[in-house]
């Protein structure tokens, strides 16, 4: 649900980029001395600045700097999940020119004068990343006039040497291509409906990126929540730099050399995604807005009668009483519990939107019906205030409103507990929106400059706290659902975010357009989010704003049916786009892909659990699996699901054939089982009924019979499709748990490892081992050999 009639004012990136010439900043002083403690090395500089290296792991080093002062004792970040690292083995060597810190994997060389930091491979001594100039700050206020909030503090920046063929990935949600080289980006959570490629900033701030050169990867997480900037060679052939309008130089350096290893370590640092309920992988339907309750029931009836799979339906803002969160409109939804029960009989879960704006409704306003949320929050002093003590009163959907100060732990708990009104009525999940936070008075945030948040007692302003607002709202919601329903996994959706959001919420890429250009952005945006620590992502299938047609809707489903979050959603005044709206021909194709999604649920869930455990996303760019193949480095119109399934969607109109790049190895056409040799580009037919899909030879893909919702039928039988490689070998994994409770965290899961090998004229499939204590009950495991006709298969357990 979003703003369409309010003009959105954002600073132009090009103006900001040209204004912020970091060469005018004052560099940090030369090293004068250093001191070693258990896992830290602290340098004192000639200008009384301090730089601190913290060795967290053999492949992870934190760099923290304070200009003209000591490192502050206060050390807090909302993004960080792990701070109890076991100190690895490390050494220090010094010379007249430099101090070298070495772990088993990284060498960090700190040049004394000028102070420059470089990172090398500890075994090969190969340079990975190096400062182009000393880190610097705006001591003379040369950039202050260009800052969002001149009172926020001093501009700080770090400049890195730009490699001749260096590529850049990640940086969260950006309306941009996969490889960010030569791009300039701003991090400032912004409500940006109908954005197009190049629009920046948009909804999220994830200041984490990956560098790749000569097949070797590193990562940098700049943990600074102020308005920040990343220049990947846009303004200079010499440097890539990042900086912020306040706060510290505070970044974490990750060394691979594999991207997968970096993503695992980033998940260790900022938190691993918990498993959602299994039904969250089902198909979801939404619109701004379905009301009254009879319309919700009719949408569900249509889905069921048309044999279209569906697990979830969403209620947008019009279910509330005058847009008051934690209320139901008594005319439109007189009995939410009865509605939930009716939907539940048809296998449907209900998810409701919850915005941060609480209607400003004092008792003296003469309202006949008091609004308990506002009164409680006001009494407990949980709402944001301006520096003069006045309530901050923006305007959002309820009109004049207030926002909760989610940096207050008591306020987070109160907000989470308010969700009892939903859980008591059987609502299955919560969709948090407008949480940049959006303000109809001023979308840039200028209206909030003097808003002060508690922030662990530091009493900091909006300049620091805007980008973390959504993270803390999602945290309050998630933790509240955990308390209210401890035997069920929480399900929270968010639009805005900061690093660490994967601990609390899934996300979608906001208010996209119903255009081919917007559809083409889905793949690079999904894959970039996956490379930024957010595995559970998706978009509004068919686009949110504007009018789709049957062809666009089908091609949109051919991307979205394999995204973790699969939801069709439409604006209030947009043409209807439920799957049947453009006629039977298009509906039949959409049904085919929704059915296929449900058949592939064991494969998708197994791959999602891998993302939970390892930090490596389900929806992947090819470069993640083929890091040494330069042909994949800017390939952003294909994607992979896990290691095994490659998809090359059509994202332009009237196209029925396309080129597909197949990496090294052998690949099976998913539809025909025809084999193709990889390491080359092939031309593939792609009529509207078909999205090109290929399976890696050597894979084993588990599936179940089609169903119309999760839990409609038992997972029996499970069919494992075997795609042997040229040596007659294949392997795979099947992950199972109850799909509902957090018991998987206590070992109540079952991970089954399988292999297959050719033996004579047949194949032997071996159950090599299992892990976990979950018992799925009796069910058949069927094995189907692909591309081999009626070759017999024998099953063996070890």
Question: Which among 82, 197, 202, 183 is positioned nearest to 507, based on CA atoms?
Answer: 202
Helix/strand/coil (H, E, C) string of 43-67? EEECCCCEEEEEEEECCEEEEEEEC
Tokens of 94: 């010094």
CA-angle at 646, arms to 280 and 708, nearest 5°:
35
DSSP string, 719-745: EEEEE--TTSEEEEEEEE--SSSGGGG
Neighbours of 571 (CB within 10 A): 23
The residue annotated as part of the active site, out of 118, 355, 436, 610, is 436
- Taking the C-alpha atoms of residue 227 and residue 230, their distance in angstroms, rounded to an integer, is 11
Element at 766 (helix H, strand E): strand 762-771
On whether the CB atoms of residues 290 and 296 are closer than 8 A, the answer is yes
On whether the CB atoms of residues 682 and 676 are closer than 8 A, the answer is yes
Q: Is the dihedral of CA 140, 142, 148, 150 positive or negative?
A: positive
CA-angle at 440, arms to 435 and 441, nearest 5°:
120
| Known catalytic membership, residue 511 | yes
| CA 74 from centre of chain | 29
| Known catalytic membership, residue 433 | yes
- With a CB cutoff of 8 Å and minimum separation 6, the contacts of 143 are 19, 20, 24, 25, 155
Distances from the Cα of 213 to the Cαs of 210, 232, 238, 257, in angstroms? Answer: 10, 13, 15, 10
The residue whose two tokens read 């339906």 is: 313
Distances from the Cα of 130 to the Cαs of 165, 194, 474, in angstroms? Answer: 15, 39, 36
Question: Which among 632, 629, 661, 621 is positioned nearest to 214, based on CA atoms?
Answer: 629
| Known catalytic membership, residue 436 | yes
Strand partners, 399: 396
Tokens of 311: 């697990």
Distances from the Cα of 254 to the Cαs of 63, 96, 217, 221, in angstroms? Answer: 11, 27, 9, 8
Strand partners, 65: 51, 249
The residue annotated as part of the active site, out of 131, 173, 433, 534, is 433
- Taking the C-alpha atoms of residue 59 and residue 261, their distance in angstroms, rounded to an integer, is 9
Neighbours of 18 (CB within 10 A): 13
Distances from the Cα of 239 to the Cαs of 133, 159, 160, 163, 231, in angstroms? Answer: 9, 6, 5, 8, 8
Strand 460-461 and strand 451-453: pairing?
antiparallel
The residue whose two tokens read 């994830």 is: 206
Secondary structure (3-state) at 220: strand
The residue annotated as part of the active site, out of 511, 540, 610, 636, is 511
Count of all residues that appear for the chain in the document: 798
Phi, psi (5° rounding) for residue 786? Answer: -90, 140
Distances from the Cα of 733 to the Cαs of 104, 194, 279, 610, 627, in angstroms? Answer: 32, 40, 21, 10, 23
- With a CB cutoff of 8 Å and minimum separation 6, the contacts of 773 are 747, 748, 749, 750
Could you tell me the end-to-end alpha-carbon distance of the chain, in angstroms, rounded to an integer? Answer: 53
DSSP E strands, 478-532? 492-494, 497-498, 506-508
The residues assigned a catalytic role are 433, 436, 511
């Amino acid at each position: 649900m979003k703003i369409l009639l309010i003009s959105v004012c954002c600073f132009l990136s090009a103006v900001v980029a040209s204004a912020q010439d970091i060469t005018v900043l004052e560099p940090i002083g030369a090293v004068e001395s250093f001191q070693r403690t258990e896992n830290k090395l602290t340098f004192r500089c000639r200008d009384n600045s301090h730089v601190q290296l913290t060795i967290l792991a053999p492949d992870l080093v934190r760099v923290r700097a304070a200009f003209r002062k000591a490192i502050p004792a206060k050390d807090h970040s909302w993004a960080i999940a792990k701070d109890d690292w076991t100190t690895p083995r490390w050494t220090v060597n010094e010379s007249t020119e430099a101090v070298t810190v070495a772990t088993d994997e990284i060498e960090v060389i700190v040049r004394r004068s000028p102070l420059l930091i470089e990172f090398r491979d500890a075994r090969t001594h190969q340079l990975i990343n190096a400062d182009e100039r000393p880190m610097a700050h705006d001591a003379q206020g040369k950039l202050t006039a260009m800052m969002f909030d001149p009172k926020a503090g001093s501009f700080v920046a770090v400049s890195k040497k730009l490699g001749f063929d260096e590529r850049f990935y990640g940086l969260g949600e950006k309306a941009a291509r996969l490889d960010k080289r030569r791009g300039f980006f701003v991090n400032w959570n912004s409500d940006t409906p109908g954005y197009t490629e190049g629009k920046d900033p948009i909804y999220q701030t994830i200041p984490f990126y990956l560098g790749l050169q000569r097949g070797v990867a590193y990562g940098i997480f700049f943990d600074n929540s102020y308005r920040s900037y990343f220049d990947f060679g846009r303004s200079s052939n010499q440097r890539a730099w990042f900086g912020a309008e306040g706060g510290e130089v505070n970044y974490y350096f990750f060394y691979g050399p594999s991207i997968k290893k970096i993503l695992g370590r980033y998940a260790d640092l900022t938190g691993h995604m918990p498993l959602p309920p299994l039904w969250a992988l089902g198909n979801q339907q939404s619109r701004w807005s379905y009301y009254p309750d009879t319309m919700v029931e009719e949408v569900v009836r249509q889905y069921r009668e048309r044999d279209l799979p569906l697990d979830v339906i969403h209620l947008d803002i019009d279910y509330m009483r005058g847009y008051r969160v934690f209320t139901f409109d008594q005319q439109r939804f007189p009995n939410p519990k009865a509605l939930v029960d009716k939907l539940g009989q048809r296998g449907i879960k209900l998810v409701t939107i919850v915005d941060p704006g609480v209607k400003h409704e004092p008792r003296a306003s003469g309202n006949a019906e008091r609004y308990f949320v506002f009164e409680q929050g006001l009494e407990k002093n949980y709402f944001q205030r301006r520096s003069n003590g006045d309530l901050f009163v923006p305007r959002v959907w309820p009109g004049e409103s207030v926002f909760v100060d989610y940096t207050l732990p008591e306020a987070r708990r109160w907000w989470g507990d308010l969700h009892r009104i939903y859980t008591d009525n059987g609502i299955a999940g919560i969709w948090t929106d407008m949480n940049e936070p959006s303000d109809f008075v001023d979308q840039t945030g200028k209206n909030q400059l003097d808003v002060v948040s508690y922030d662990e007692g530091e009493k900091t302003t909006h300049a620091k706290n805007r980008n973390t607002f959504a993270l803390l709202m999602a945290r309050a919601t998630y933790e509240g659902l955990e308390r209210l329903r401890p035997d069920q996994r929480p399900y929270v959706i968010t639009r805005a975010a900061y690093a660490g959001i994967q601990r609390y919420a899934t996300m979608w890429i906001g208010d996209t357009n119903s255009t081919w250009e917007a559809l083409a952005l889905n793949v690079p945006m999904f894959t970039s989010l996956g490379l930024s620590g957010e595995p559970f992502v998706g978009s509004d299938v068919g686009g949110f704003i504007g009018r789709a047609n049957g062809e666009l809707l089908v091609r949109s489903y051919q991307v979205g049916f394999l995204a973790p979050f699969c939801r069709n959603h439409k604006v209030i005044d947009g043409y209807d786009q439920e799957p049947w709206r453009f006629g039977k021909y298009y509906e039949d194709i959409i049904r085919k892909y929704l059915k296929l999604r449900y058949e592939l649920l064991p494969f998708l869930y197994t791959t999602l659990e891998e993302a939970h455990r390892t930090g490596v996303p389900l929806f992947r760019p090819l470069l993640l699996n083929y890091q040494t193949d330069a042909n994949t480095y800017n390939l952003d119109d294909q994607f992979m699901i896990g290691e095994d399934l490659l998809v090359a969607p059509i994202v332009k109109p009237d196209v029925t054939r396309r080129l597909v790049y197949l990496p090294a190895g052998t690949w099976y056409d998913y539809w025909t089982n025809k084999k193709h040799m990889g390491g080359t580009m092939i031309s593939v037919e792609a009529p509207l009924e078909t999205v090109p899909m290929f399976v890696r030879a050597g894979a084993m893909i588990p599936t179940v019979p089609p169903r119309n919702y999760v839990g409609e039928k038992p997972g029996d039988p499970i069919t494992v499709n075997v795609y042997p490689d040229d040596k007659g070998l294949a392997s795979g994994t099947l992950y199972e748990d109850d799909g509902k409770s957090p018991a998987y965290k206590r070992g109540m899961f079952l991970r089954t490892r399988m292999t297959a090998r050719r033996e004579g004229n047949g194949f032997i499939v071996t159950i090599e081992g299992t892990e976990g204590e979950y018992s799925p009950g009796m069910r058949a495991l069927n094995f189907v050999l692909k591309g081999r006709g009626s070759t017999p298969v024998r099953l063996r357990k070890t």
